[in-house]
């Protein structure tokens, strides 16, 4: 069956998620008959009703266009992918309790698709994978009598802003054959301003290097923050001094909780590949995870927490989104629950946690506030008469 005869030009596995949904919308708005395949039936119902299941800036208009055009379809069943010319896999790829990659998640996904694959299809891995996975997938499918084209094209967008970045950033593409790489490039040239072709192994390293480098960069800042703060020095006065008008320090990030579902995980995947000979990555983990412990220890020194209510401002893992996966706000909450009389948490975007309370309640009841997430809404608050722990420097921005 040729692509013109198939029902869908593109099928996105895990297409209701944070990575898959913006990508599917881009394909559909570009005129491609696009299938979102996902086992999350609730998310599919929400999408089908014209509502985004999570925060993705600019996506509301894209979803409306995609649905109105008739180019977007939704289905729970993997069998629907037999009718797709190209299959893009966007499932999550976690690490286990030993911080090793969980290869079986990819294999489990592929095993569920085997009966519906054919040699005319292009299979695009979009998920972050352990180095060597693309070539493994090629061999694995061949061992099962399947010979589709295989490509790896890593996702590198900032969560919450994928629609904007898919259109503005170069896309790395790779394939196990020249034909696979060519078809992958044609796919992303629908909206990407440029494609960069490398080998599959180079592309796999490119994604892990990107996230590990960012994680290490945040750790460097967080350690400098703790050194300055321990010495009684205002880190953000130093930050302003060294970045103002000085080009070689413009990339110096602000301190803060570095978390989420990708940076830590991908750093650990790279460490596993390197037989744990990745001291920078492991030290970054100790620093970034340790910042929460530093905050708690500092609060214990400043306050009699056993008699105080602590209010945590922000539950998401970063600003202006609703995703709480691997958020260090929850690590902080658990640690403070042992020390404080009560811990309250609020977030203007998060709705899935029933224990969250309103901002007004947190402000009314809390003796100490901790600025966990730099949401814009928190920059407008008056902190002048409050006890505030502010790693992000939000308080400095307003006064």
What are 110-141's pLDDT values in tens digits?
999 999 999 999 999 999 999 999 999 999 99
Query: pTM here?
Result: 0.94
Task: State residue 4's pLDDT score.
Answer: 56
Which pLDDT does position 347 carry in this prediction?
A: 99
Residue whose C-alpha is closest to residue 255's, from 280, 272, 230: 230
Confidence (pLDDT) at 399: 36
Res 205 pLDDT > 90: yes
Cα-to-chain-centroid distance, residue 311: 26
pLDDT of residue 84: 98
Give the C-alpha distances (Å, rounded to integers) separating 86 from 98, 117, 188, 256: 35, 10, 12, 40
Q: Read off the pLDDT band of 99 (50, 70, 90).
A: confident
Token pair listed for 62 = 């894209």
The residue to which tokens 């001094």 are assigned: 241
Backbone phi, then psi, for 293, in 5-degree steps? -65, -40
Is residue 18 within 8 Å of residue 161, measured between CB atoms? Answer: no
Alpha helices in the chain (DSSP H): 20-29, 41-48, 59-69, 104-113, 133-143, 162-168, 178-188, 200-230, 235-243, 263-273, 279-302, 328-339, 359-365, 376-379, 394-398
Closest to 393 measured CA to CA, from 224, 200, 149, 183: 224
End-to-end C-alpha distance for the chain, whole angstroms: 65
Q: Look up residue 210 and give its two tokens.
A: 């990107």
In this prediction, residues 147-165 reach a mean pLDDT of 96
Conformational region of residue 319, where left means phi above 0, alpha means psi within -120 to 50, and beta covers everything else: beta
Averaged confidence pLDDT in the chain: 96
pLDDT at 8 over 70: yes
Which structural domains are found in the chain, ordered by start? 3-198 (3.40.50.720), 211-398 (3.40.50.720)
User: 393: closest CA among 227, 253, 248, 246?
Assistant: 253
Q: Reduced to 3 states, what is the DSSP secondary structure of residue 51?
A: coil
């Amino acid at each position: 069956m040729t692509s013109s005869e198939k029902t869908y030009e593109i099928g996105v596995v895990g297409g209701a998620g944070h990575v898959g949904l913006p990508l599917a919308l881009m394909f559909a708005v570009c005129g491609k008959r696009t299938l979102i395949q996902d086992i999350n039936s609730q998310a599919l119902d929400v999408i089908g009703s014209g509502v985004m299941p999570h925060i993705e800036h600019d996506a509301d208009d894209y979803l409306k266009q995609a649905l109105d055009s008739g180019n977007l379809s939704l289905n729970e069943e993997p069998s629907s992918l037999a009718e797709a010319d190209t299959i893009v896999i966007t499932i999550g790829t976690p690490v286990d309790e030993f911080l090793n990659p969980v290869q079986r998640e990819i294999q489990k996904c592929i095993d569920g698709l085997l009966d519906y694959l054919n040699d005319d299809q292009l299979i695009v891995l979009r998920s972050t994978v352990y180095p060597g996975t693309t070539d493994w997938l090629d061999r694995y499918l061949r061992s099962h009598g399947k010979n589709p084209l295989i490509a790896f094209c890593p996702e590198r967008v900032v969560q919450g802003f994928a629609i904007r970045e898919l259109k503005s950033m170069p896309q790395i593409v790779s394939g196990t054959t020249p034909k696979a790489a060519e078809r992958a490039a044609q796919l992303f040239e629908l909206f990407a301003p440029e494609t960069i072709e490398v080998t599959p192994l180079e592309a796999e390293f490119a994604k892990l290097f990107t996230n590990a480098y960012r994680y290490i960069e945040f750790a460097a800042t967080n350690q400098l923050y703790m050194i300055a703060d321990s010495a009684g020095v205002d880190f953000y006065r130093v930050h302003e001094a060294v970045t103002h008008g000085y080009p070689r320090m413009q990339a110096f990030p602000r301190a803060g909780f570095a978390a989420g579902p990708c940076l830590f995980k991908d750093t650990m995947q790279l460490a596993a590949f390197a037989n744990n000979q990745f001291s920078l990555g492991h030290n970054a983990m100790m620093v970034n995870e340790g910042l929460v412990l530093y905050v708690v220890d500092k609060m214990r020194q400043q306050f009699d927490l056993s008699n105080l209510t602590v209010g945590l401002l922000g539950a998401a893992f970063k600003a202006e989104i609703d995703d709480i996966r691997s958020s260090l706000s929850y690590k902080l909450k658990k640690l403070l629950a042992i020390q404080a009389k009560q811990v309250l948490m609020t977030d203007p975007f998060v709705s899935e946690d029933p224990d969250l309370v309103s901002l007004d309640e947190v402000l009314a009841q809390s003796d100490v506030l901790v600025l966990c997430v730099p949401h814009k809404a928190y920059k407008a608050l008056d902190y002048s008469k409050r006890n505030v722990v502010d790693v992000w420097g939000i308080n400095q921005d307003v006064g």
